[in-house]
Structure 1
Amino acid sequence: MRAVRLTAATAVATVAALTAVTGCTEKSDSKDKGSDAVKVTATDDSCKVSATSFPAGHVKLAVENKGSKVTEVYVLFPDDRIVTERENIAPGTKANITAEIKAGDYEIACKPGMTGKGIRQKVKATGGKAAAKRDPRLDKAVAEYRTYTQAQADETLPKVKKFTDAIRKGDVEAAKKAYADSRIGWERTEPVAESFGDIDPKVDVREDGLEDGQDPKTDWTGWHRLEKSLWKDGKIGSREKELATLLDKDLKDWQNRVGKALITPTSMANGAKELLDEVATGKVTGEEEAYSHTDLVDFKANVEGAEKAYDLLKPVATENDAALTKELDRQFAALNKLLDEYREDKKSYDFTSYDKVGEADRKELSDAVNALAEPLSKLAAAVVVK
C-alpha cells in the first residue's frame, strides 16, 4: 500500500507515531553520517542534494526532513522503477539509507505529503560498471529471497481467484471469507511489488490514496475498492465484477514481473524496514482495512516478510554487528509473541477483528512495532562489506 494523503485528523497521530519510529535515528545512526554520505534535505517545496554525482557502489543517503509534512525519499531509475526508498519520514527527523547503486543516471525524489511524483533532482553514479563488493553469502541470500518472492506471487494467484470468483458469482459472504487470505503473499513482499511503480496503485491503493483529479467512481481499482463494496455497501454489481477480473489481470502482471525485480542485499534490508513502516502507519492505526477490519492479517504478513529478509541476511549482519542482530532477534520474538495473543493458534490466520482491539492494546502493538523498526533501520548498513 503506497503511503496515502493524510487528513487533518490523522496527520497528528501519524506524525507522533513516525517520530517514535524515526526520531531516534538521528542520534543512533550519527556515526554513519560521514563526508561520504549524500545529504538530502527535504522541505515542503524543495529537495536539495549535496552532490549530484557520486561513486557507484554502496551509497549512503543522509536524509533530513525540514518541512512540515511527512515525506518520502526515493532513488529512481529514469523509467521510475525504484532503486531504494524510505517512506514516512516525519517532520523534524532524520533517516539514513544505505543502498547498492550501479553506475548510471538516476533521480532522487522527495515527496512532501507522500503524494504525487515528487520534487526531483537528477544525479549520476559514476565509476564504470563494476558492482559493489559483496560477500558471496549475500548473493545466496538474494537468490533465496528472489525464490521466496516468486513463490509468494505464485501462491497468491489461486487465492485471489477464489476471492474474485466469489465476486463474479455475486456471493458476498464467500468473497468476504476469501478476502484477507488473498492478500497475505502480497503483504509479505510488498516492497518488491512497489518497486515497479505502476502495479501497487492499481491493486492496493485506498480511497484516500488517490491522486488529485482521480475519481473514486472510475479510477479507484483493486482490493480496497472491492473491500468497500463488500463490507460497507454489502452488495456486488456489474462494476465490482469488472473490477474482480481487472484485479486478476493486474496481479498476473505482478506474478510475471516479480522474478525480474532488482533485488540487492541492501534493498532486502530496506524493504524489511518499509514493511514495518507499513505496519506503523496503516495497520496499527486501523486505516488499511477500514471496512473489513482484517488489519492484523496484513500486520502479521508484513512482519513475516520482514523477518524472512532479515533471516537471509543475518549470517553476514551478525559478523558485522552482533549486537544489532541480537536486538533484532529479541524484538522480532517479542512482536510475534504479542501478535499470537490475537489468534487462536500459531498456524491460523484467524485474527481478532481490529475494530475489537482497544486503544490501550493498539498502543502496545504500536510500541512493539516501533521497538523493532528502530534497529531494523540499521540492517542495510550491517550487510555492507566492511
Structure 2
Amino acid sequence: MTAPMTARLAPLAALLALSGSALAEAPDPVAVTVTDKGCEPASLTVPAGKSVFRIRNQSRRVLEWEILQGTLIVEERENIIPGFVQTLTATLQPGTYAMTCGLLSNPKGTLTVLAAAGTEAAGGPPDPMALVGPLAAYKHYVAGQVGLFVERTRAFTEAVKAGRIAEAKALYATARQPYERIEPVASLFNDLDKSMDVRADDFEQKEADPGFIGFHRIEKGLWADHSTEGLGPHADRLMADAEELKRRITDLTIPPAKMVGGAAGLIEEVAATKISGEEDRYSRTDLSDFHANVEGSRKIYDLLRPLVERQDPDFVARTDRNFARVEALLTKYRSEDGSFAPYDRLSDRDRQALKGPITVLAEDLSTLRGKLGLD
C-alpha cells in the first residue's frame, strides 16, 4: 500500500480501533427519565469507556434520546414509546456532552465523562483493515447521494419560491429520497437534521411553533394550506442547509459503528414510527421515504455482506430473503413511472402486512454491529 493511501486510511483505522476497544463488562446502568419538560436528572457524570444508559420515557410522545458533542450525534436511541424503557450502550471519551430531552423546545441536559483508570478492555478490536474498504465505498455512495440531494432540493425550492405549487408537489418526494437513503450520516449533524426534517410533534405548539421549519413545514403549506405564501424564507433556509450538509459530509470521516448500525436504524425507524404515517402526513408520500430507507439500508448491508457471510452464511441467506420480501411488498404500490401510491390509500391490513416483514428485517440487521465487533 502506498504511503499516501496509508495516510488517507489512517483516520478510518483509528476509528475502527477505538470502536473495538473497551470490551470489558459495562458498569451498572445509568438511569435517566425524560418527561414533558426535560431530563431527570438534567446532569449526569460517568467514567470514560463503556456506559449503559437506561432511558425511561415519562412524556406523552414517542421520543429519541441523543448524546451530542457540539452538533454531532455521538450515540442515540430512537423510538422510545411513552411509558417504556430502553437501554443505550455507549463508549465515550472524556469530555462534556449534551443530552436531548424530549421536545426540541426543552433544555438539553449535560453529560460529563471523566477520565478513569481501568476503562480499557482486555479484548482486541476487529481487524481495522477489514472495514476500511466498505467504509470508503460507503463514503463515496454518501457523497453521490448528498450531491443529488442538493441538486433536487434546489429544483424543489425554486418551484416553491416561484409559486408553482403543482411542480413543487411533484418534486417534493424525489427531493427527499437521497436524504432518506443516507439518513444515518445526515442525521449525525443534529442542528441540520432538526432544521431540515423536523416534525410539528417535536414542539409544544406543534405547527404554530416558529421552530417548525424545513421540508415538513413546506409540505404543510403545499398540501394543507394549498399555498406557497410565506414559504420563501423556509425554502431559502432548506437550500442553505442542504448545501451545508454537503460541505460537512465532504470533510467527515464516517464512524464505523454509525455506518454498520445505520443498516438497522433505517429499517427500525420505518417499523417503529413511519409505518403509522406520521412522517409525510400532509402529502402522503410516505412510501417513497420507506423505499429510500430500504435502499439506503440495502447499500450498507451489501457492502458488509462479504464480511458477514464468512462467519454466518445462514444470517446472510435469511437477510437476503427478508430484503427481497420487503422490496416485493413495496413494489406492489409502485406505478410504472416510479411513483408510489398515496399512503392513505393503504388499508390497516396493508400497513400491517408491511410492518411484519419490516420488523423482522430490522431485528436481524440490529445484530450486524455485534457480528462485526462494534458493540
Q: What's the TM-score bracket when you normalise by the shorter of the two chains?
A: 0.7 to 0.9
Q: Distance between the aligned counterparts of 2:193 and 2:315, measured in 1?
A: 32
Contact 2:96 2:110 in 1 (8 A): no
Number of aligned positions between the proteins: 343
Q: Which amino acid aligns with 2:174?
A: D
Which residues of 2 match residues 73-222 of structure 1 at below 5 A? 73-77=65-69, 79-90=70-81, 91-95=83-87, 97=89, 101=91, 103-107=93-97, 109=99, 111=101, 116=106, 118-124=108-114, 133-210=126-203, 212=204, 216=208, 218-222=210-214
Q: Deviations over 1:256-296 (max 9, x none)?
A: 11123342221112222221232124421111111110000
Corresponding residue of 1:35? 25
1:308 CA drift (Å): 1.2
C-alpha displacement of 1:369: 1.6
Q: Are 2:368 and 1:379 equivalent residues in the alignment?
A: yes
Unaligned runs of 5+ in 2: 1-22
Higher mean C-alpha deviation, range 176-185 or range 166-175: 166-175
SS at 1:198's partner residue?
helix
Greater shift, 87-96 or 277-286, is seen at: 87-96
Is contact 1:157-1:248 (8 Å) kept? yes
TM-score (norm 1): 0.78
- Match for residue 258 of structure 1? 249
- The offset of 1:142, in angstroms, is 1.2
Deviation string, structure 1 residues 146-184 (Cα, Å, up to 9, x no partner): 111111110111211221121122111111111110000
Q: Using the TM superposition, name which of 113-122 and 172-181 deviates more.
A: 113-122
**Distance in 1 of aligned mates of 2:299 and 2:120:** 30
Does structure 2 retain, via aligned residues, the 8 Å contact 1:105–1:124?
A: yes
Q: Relative to structure 2, which stretch is displaced further, 39-48 or 175-184?
A: 39-48
Tell me the SS of whatever aligns to 2:29: strand
- SS of the counterpart of 2:99? strand
Partner SS state of residue 43, structure 1: strand
- Compared CA separation, residues 331 and 185, structure 1 to 2 (3 A): same
Match for residue 19 of structure 2? none
CA displacement, residues 170-203 of structure 1 (integer Å, 9 cap, x when unaligned): 1111111111100001111112112111101211
**Does the 8 Å CA contact 1:188/1:306 hold for their aligned counterparts?**
yes
- Give RMSD over aligned pairs: 3.3
